[in-house]
A and B are shown apart, each in its own frame.
Chain A
Amino acid sequence: MANIAFRVRDVKRRIELSKFSRLMSEMGFETDIGKDEVNVDITPHRPELLDFDMLMWALEVFDGRAKPSKTDYIPINERLIDIEVSKSVSGIRPFIMGVAAKRVDLSGRKADYLIRFIEKISETYGRKRSRIAIGIHDLSKISGNTLRYEALSESSFVPLDSEYSMSFDDIIRRHQKGIEYGGLVPSGKYPVLRDSDKIMAFIPIVNSDATKVSSGTDSLFIDVTGTDAVGVRNVTEIMNCVLRHMGADVYKVGVHVGKRSTTSPSGVWRRLSLKESRISSILGIEDLGSTAVHVRRCGYVASSSKGILTVYIPPYRTDIIGSMDIIEDVAIGYGYNRIKPVPVSGHFVGIPERSVPLYERVTRLFIGIGFTEAMNNYLTDEESQFHNMGRADNGKSVRVEYAKTSSISILRQSLIPMLMQNLSDSMNEPMPQRLFEYGKVFVRVPGSVYERDSLAFVAVHSKANFGEAKSVFDVIAREMGLDLAVVRYEDPAFIKGRCAGISDNGKIIGVFGEIHPTVLNRFKIDEPVIAGEIYLE
């Protein structure tokens, strides 16, 4: 999801605010209207809507107040710029395309909106410039009309908004953009765009101050570079549409790689046809009406005849791949909240999962003997699971590689430490306190993770002793019909001689007893605690 803000003032000039919210929601975008700014959330498949004019246009079309045409985005058939691409960029950032425009109006906030749009789309769709980056230049400041795109081992220029020339090595080390994006270029192989007498851009780091764009600029050259050919083409087509909606005249740019040449933008509307019967079978809307009328609200040029819907897809809709995308737009044009719900026909019987009855029985049993249920996080750290319990780290924890929260590093192997922490947080509450938890625990096995259920209980009060723990175990085993033996056991979390192991045919599957006071000190619990845990298969 990408978020961008526009001034309320600017939005109100094009559309009334309450209508804006409503239409945005019907189109599928969340808005937040503040006093001065409107924030919009644009889903990743519609990057062109991060541009103010494109968004307003989409709303006007959706509202029926504007009508798109297939000639809207055809560039003027004249190449203003040619780019020669050197082989040296092929392993680094091979793809480049561009558009050139005249009669560009950048007065008022327009320059600011355009630059913010370019930066936002490079960050989101362009994956922080790694996939796509966009450079914008004042066309009148470019010398000649042939540019060269190549990789240099070192050079220098005056970066945008700087006073001094900097070497590229220096820019990578010390300039803000160099620090941020320097990782995208290998050392000593710096992609550069140059005209006949100067370097225009250190790609994708920073432009030269020499071709800087200001609100007085009236002609532009925009370069789109990247590591993804389709992405570069998509963004170029979008930039063409953006400039057209700003009222500019767009011209072609040629790109020459060895003997191969292409020009951009195309401004072409792709055509797609689909059967109306397929649309009906997917949507299931009885009184669908004219699919062409619905889909036109989403910006298409459309017509329907003999049960076939034919649409022309605007060049900025880089997300449309197949007929399903069109069908979705038919539904959006129709209005999701108008769709009549239709039940699925058939005979169905609900069946609960196999493990559920046991969980519910155990819960009822524990509530019946006065234990309240706790539900703890699965994620924890070694300090809680091992150190505070006086137990050695058995090295079998499932480990998380990186967590934003510092107290998360492993998945729990045991429930008792979690319940101990719950008691610690409840020290100022009346005694006695009794908690149980029945939940998942995780342990590392070769090549995999073993997920199993564990049942644990704790009780804290001035008279808590081994006898209570044993009585609880006895009642669990009896009520659940488990054939288990109890043996003397040693576990550093428990007081020696007041600890029992639960044995299933010789294999220890649990433990219970009185918690050792060292452990109580570490958890800052001031009364005796009894605890028990059984791993259930």
Chain B
Amino acid sequence: MHRYCSMILNYLKSRGSASADQLIAELGLGEDKVLWALEVLKRDGAIEYKRDAVTDVSLTEEGKSYIDMFPEERLVKSVAEGKVRAVGDVDDKIGLNWAKRNGWITIDGGKLSLTKLGASIEQSGRYALRDTLRDLSAGGDTKRIMLKSSTAFDSLKRRHLIDVHERGTIGTIRITDTGNSINDNVDEISYLDREIIKGRLWEGKRFSEYDVNISYGDIYPARMHPMHEFINMVRETWLSMGFVEGSGPIVNPAFWNFDVLLTPQHHPARDMQDTFFLSDPDTVGTGERSLLKRVKAAHERSFGTDWDVSLAKRALLRTHNTVVSARYIRELGSSSRAKYPIKAFFVGRVFRNESIDYKHRAEFYQSDGIIVGDNLTFSNLIFELREFFGRLLGESVAESIMLRPSYFPFTEPSLEIFYFDKNHKDYIELGGAGIIREEITGALGMNKRVLAWGLGLDRLLFDRMGIYDINEIYRNRVGWLRARKSL
């Protein structure tokens, strides 16, 4: 046994347990050596300890500036003193915003007035957020503060007034029965080594014994990311159904993302609120002039409004994978060598301009597909979708599939597809599908019928893995990746 290990073991034999700090202080070995020896002893089952997480909290610059008074407290005071009467009088919009959210003031026709709650706050001067901030700044016991004022704590975190950082520490270290029974005895062998094996020095000696029931340290296999695994399952399902795989660029002009798919230029989805438009570059090329002309004509025919080419050139991050389908249809339409029917699928990331929280992400995966050919029907579309989900999710889920009529600017007829989730006792949406409108395929130079669909993958994965916070999977915390469920 290594010298450091036996030093620690002997120390623990007399005391039963100790903290890592005690060992470091008393044995004079240095933190690195102690930590190393502890890992070896744990691996051998001679000691046990738990890992704790310690939370360090520090105030941000903004947080520090609020210790005396929060901007919303300042605002309420100004209103009470009559210094501020209307929205136009307010300089600090942050204070105004929070005072309103807290229900301390009301705004009517631009005029500000204190509510009962706001008045009582102003008089008492007691504000939970400020008290908690002061507690943390004074260096109080973080865990206790977190538990006692969890709402205030979360608020401070969300407003970026505090930085929260978790650190790992080692909890109390205890010697096990195995540890107690280890004797640095000349007659008892702890570790086999070359010398003992070649010289047959083990003859006549005993081997110290291991407790077969305890854990000797966790092994973490390196793994594929679960979304990569899931995407492979999806891809293999489509490939097994005879689909060819394709892909396309993430950055597209609005032309391919919206105009080609006959989404009107003043449709709300084209709003900054839902789409990530780029400022640099702010436009990207749209391609062939002849295609532009045909799409322009289709818009003017369908909507009776002017079509502005500068809006079509705006660069954005694709909001759906249907862009890739559209480009693929165009390639087929302009090629004379394709043999029909053709089945193709595309898996890729898409982007929506969302406020990120536990239920919403700004980027997620979709699996889109098309079938192109003569005489394809709505019942063909339904077959391929039911078949896909049957293979991917299993027969019992497939039996619960429900179709519902829907509306998309680029398909008619359209449908949405759901399955019944037994845990949530609710229908969960799998995706949308339909027959691409002839105005669109016509403009793309395609004279055959196109069946198309787009399916969301993240939701399926989360439900499968039982995940609550949909951002967890992309936070890539090593502990989470190590322990995550298999698919």
Residues of A at the B interface (CB closer than 8 Å) are 25-28, 30, 43-46, 127, 131, 173-176, 179, 228-230, 281-285, 321, 324-325, 327-328, 331-332, 336-337, 339-344, 346-353, 355-356, 363, 366-379, 397-405, 408, 411, 419, 422-423, 425-430, 433-435, 440, 442, 444, 447-449, 451, 462, 524, 526
CB distance from B272 to the nearest CB of A (A): 5
Q: Which of B238, B247, B281, B379 is close to A342, meaning CB atoms less than 8 Å apart?
A: B379
B371 touches A344 (CB 8 A): yes
**Chain A CB within 8 A of B93 CB:** no
A349 to B, closest residue via Cβ: B242
Residues of B within 8 A of A282 (CB): 377-378, 413, 435
B3 interface residue per 8 A CB criterion:
no
Contact with A along B444-487 (1 / 0, CB 8 A): 00000000000000000000000000000111111101100000
Residue from A371, A373, A440 within 8 A of B250 (CB atoms):
A440
A331-B222 in contact given A350-B244, A375-B227, A448-B284 (Cβ < 8 Å): no
Given contacts A28-B404, A339-B379, A425-B475, contact A374 B281 (CB under 8 A): no
- Is B156 part of the binding interface, using a Cβ–Cβ cutoff of 8 Å? no
Q: Name the distance in Å between B98's Cβ and chain A's nearest Cβ.
A: 16
19 interchain pairs, CB-CB under 8 A: A179-B110, A325-B412, A328-B413, A336-B404, A342-B379, A367-B223, A368-B222, A370-B222, A372-B481, A373-B481, A374-B476, A378-B349, A401-B279, A405-B354, A422-B477, A429-B478, A429-B482, A430-B220, A449-B284
The verdict on B69 contacting chain A, using a C-beta distance below 8 Å, is: no
CB proximity of B93 to chain A, nearest CB, Å: 15
Dominant secondary structure of chain B at its interface with chain A: mixed
* A367 contacts across to B, CB distance below 8 A: 222-224
Report how far A447 CA is from B315 CA in the complex, Å.
Answer: 10
- When distances are taken between beta carbons in the complex, the residues of chain B under 8 Å from A30 are 404
Q: Are A428 and B272 in contact (CB under 8 A)?
A: no
Which has the most chain A C-beta neighbours within 10 Å: B228, B354, B473?
A: B228
Which residues of the partner chain A approach B165 to less than 8 Å between Cβ atoms?
427, 524
- How far is it, in angstroms, between the C-alpha of A509 and the C-alpha of B456 when the chains are bound? 35
For residue A423, which residues in chain B have a CB less than 8 angstroms away from its CB? 478
Question: Nearest-CB distance from A26 to chain B (Å)?
Answer: 8
Q: How far is the CB of B459 from chain A (nearest CB, A)?
A: 16
Q: Is the CB of B242 within 8 A of A324?
A: no
Task: Choose among B273, B276, B341, B413 the residue that contacts A344 (Cβ–Cβ < 8 A).
Answer: B341
Task: Name B224's contact: one of A353, A373, A434 (CB within 8 Å).
Answer: A373
Do the beta carbons of A176 and B109 come within 8 Å of each other? Answer: yes
- Give Cα A45–Cα B412 distance, bound, in whole angstroms: 12
Instruction: State whether A401 touches B481 (Cβ < 8 A).
Output: no
Contacts of A451 in B (CB 8 A): 249-251
| Shortest Cβ gap from A181 to chain B (Å) | 14
B241 CB contacts on chain A under 8 angstroms: 348, 350
* Given known contacts A28-B404, A282-B377, A428-B51, A342 and B383 CB-to-CB distance under 8 angstroms: yes
In contact, A230 and B353 (Cβ under 8 angstroms): no
| Interface residues in B24-40 (C-beta closer than 8 Å to A) | 32, 35
Question: Beta-carbon contacts of B343-375 to A below 8 Å, as 1s and 0s?
Answer: 100000101011110000011000000010101
- B200 → A minimal CB distance (Å): 35
Report chain A residues within 8 Å CB of B266.
127, 131
Among B110, B304, B404, B477, point to the contact of A174 (Cβ < 8 A): B110
Are A376 and B474 touching (Cβ within 8 A)?
Answer: yes
Known: A336-B403, A375-B228, A404-B273. A344 touches B380 (CB 8 A): yes
Q: How far is the CA of A425 from the CA of B480 in the complex (A)?
A: 11
B interface, CB within 8 angstroms of A = 32, 35, 51, 53-54, 108-110, 165-168, 218, 220, 222-225, 227-228, 235, 238-247, 249-251, 266, 268, 272-273, 276-282, 284-285, 302, 304-305, 315, 317, 341, 343, 349, 351, 353-356, 362-363, 371, 373, 375-380, 382-384, 386-387, 402-407, 412-416, 435, 437-438, 473-479, 481-482
Q: Which residues of A contact B351 (CB under 8 A)?
A: 378-379
From B225, B284, B354, B438, give the contact of A374 (CB < 8 A).
Answer: B225
- A-side contacts of B235, CB under 8 Å: 352, 356
| Contact indicator A351/B244 (Cβ below 8 Å) | yes
A contact residues around B166 at 8 Å (CB): 427-428
Instruction: Please tell me if the beta carbons of A28 and B482 are within 8 angstroms of each other in the complex.
Output: no
- Say whether B407 contacts A348, CB under 8 Å: no
Determine if B353 and A402 form an interchain contact, defined as CB atoms under 8 angstroms apart.
yes
Residue of A nearest to B383 (CB): A341
Q: How far is the CA of A284 from the CA of B402 in the complex (A)?
A: 19
How close is A123's CB to chain B, nearest CB, in angstroms? 10
Residues A400 and B276 in contact, CB atoms below 8 Å apart: yes
Q: Is the CB of B279 within 8 A of A331?
A: no
In the bound complex, residues from chain B placing their C-beta under 8 Å from that of A349 are: 242
User: What's the nearest-Cβ distance from chain A to residue B161, in Å?
Assistant: 14
Q: Which residues of A contact B353 (CB under 8 A)?
A: 402-404
A300 to B438, CA, bound (A): 24
Is the CB–CB distance between B477 and A425 below 8 Å? yes
How far is A14 from B223 in the complex, measured between Cα atoms in Å? 57
- B222/A341 in contact, CB under 8 A: no
Is the beta-carbon distance between B110 and A363 smaller than 8 angstroms? no
CB distance from B309 to the nearest CB of A (A): 16
Contact between A43 and B277, CB atoms less than 8 A apart: no
Q: Are A350 and B251 in contact (CB under 8 A)?
A: no
Contact between A353 and B380 (Cβ–Cβ < 8 Å)? no
A1 nearest in chain B by CB position? B407
A524 to chain B, nearest CB (A): 5
Q: Tell me if A342 and B377 are in contact (CB < 8 A).
A: yes
Q: Give chain A residues whose Cβ lies under 8 Å from the Cβ of B251.
A: 398, 442, 448-449, 451
Q: Which residues of B contact A176 (CB under 8 A)?
A: 108-109
Whether A324 touches B437, Cβ cut-off 8 Å, given contacts A344-B384, A353-B247, is yes
B426 to chain A, nearest CB (A): 10
Decide if A281 touches B356 in the complex (CB within 8 Å): no
Residue of B nearest to A228 (CB): B305
The residue of chain A having its C-beta at the shortest distance from the C-beta of B107 within the complex is A176
Asked if B245 contacts A435 (CB within 8 A), the reply is: no
> In the complex, A368→B224 CA distance in Å?
11
Q: Are B281 and A447 in contact (CB under 8 A)?
A: yes
Contact of B245 among A46, A352, A378, A426 (CB under 8 A): A352
CB-CB under 8 A for A377 and B362, given A344-B343, A427-B168 = yes
